[in-house]
Amino acid sequence: MERIILAAPRGFCAGVAYAIEVVSLALKIHGAPLYVRHAIVHNEWVVKSFEEQGVVFVEDIADIPSGGVVVYSAHGVAPEIRRQSKERNLTIIDATCPLVTKVHNEAKHYAAKGYFMVYIGHRGHVEAEGTMGEAPDRMVLVETPAEAERLELPHYDKLAVLTQTTLSVGEVRETMEVLERRFPHLHRPAKEDICYATTNRQSAIHELARECDLVLIVGSTTSSNSNRLREVAEALGTESHLLLTPDQVRPEWKTDYRRIGISSGASTPEQLVEDVIGELLSGRNDVPIDVLETVKEDVTFKPSRDLISLAMAR
């Protein structure tokens, strides 16, 4: 190993930082136990850290005591989840990423205007379930270009397309091309649904993969955007692996590769990246670490003033 190259940007996006801050504020206000519907972000390290502080993660609203407090995760929830929360008289704190909320609002807008929608996303992903829940009778999911080719729709005068925020830019482009060819009257939102952080991190991987003979993505296997980063590097012909902890570093990575590129998913704490680098170096001080910066990010999302004021009062 001659060199380690770090991608920039990498790691936490504004939506993840926002969700983590919201849970931290909610803990100050309400104390433990604090219930969060679904993992706040898709990273086991972050989830475990909150569990140690008394946060309880649940999938079913029925598992939260009536009259309790619920935080919605960064991935958003369907209206049915909100209905169940009100039914149980829960205090709701919403940590949904504003960029996911944007797609929910688009779904509501199109449904109100009489559109039928095609949603490009991954089946079973909590973000997809939340968005599709906004108009379950007016939306169908497609996951791949091949599925888009096979898609059969009854005739609709108004047809629109929405996208999960964490998908591969290239994969969405291919699927979109198929849909637009097959359904020429398909309407697209004015702004792209794939979030800025997903796009920026995938663009950085394009540059990193050209410079390196091995690309490591630090992130969880449950993280959609982390998986997409590994796939992007692999599609460019560079060997790539997804790992979360330093004990997953393989001995041959230290000896058989000259230039190792490292990035991390949008829900990955920087400490995990540092731990992986520490294991790769394992006492060596002759390996330079360079940063390959492709774009500067300055996006931030702030919790509500009321939430911050309540936390400060405690």
Catalytic residues: 127
User: Would you say 102 and 163 are in contact if contact means Cβ atoms under 8 Å apart?
Assistant: no
User: What tokens appear for 311 in the block?
Assistant: 């936390």
First to last CA, the chain: 50
User: Would you say 264 and 219 are in contact if contact means Cβ atoms under 8 Å apart?
Assistant: yes
User: What tokens appear for 168 in the block?
Assistant: 């591969």
User: Would you say 35 and 58 are in contact if contact means Cβ atoms under 8 Å apart?
Assistant: yes
How many beta carbons lie within 10 A of that of residue 261, not counting itself? 28
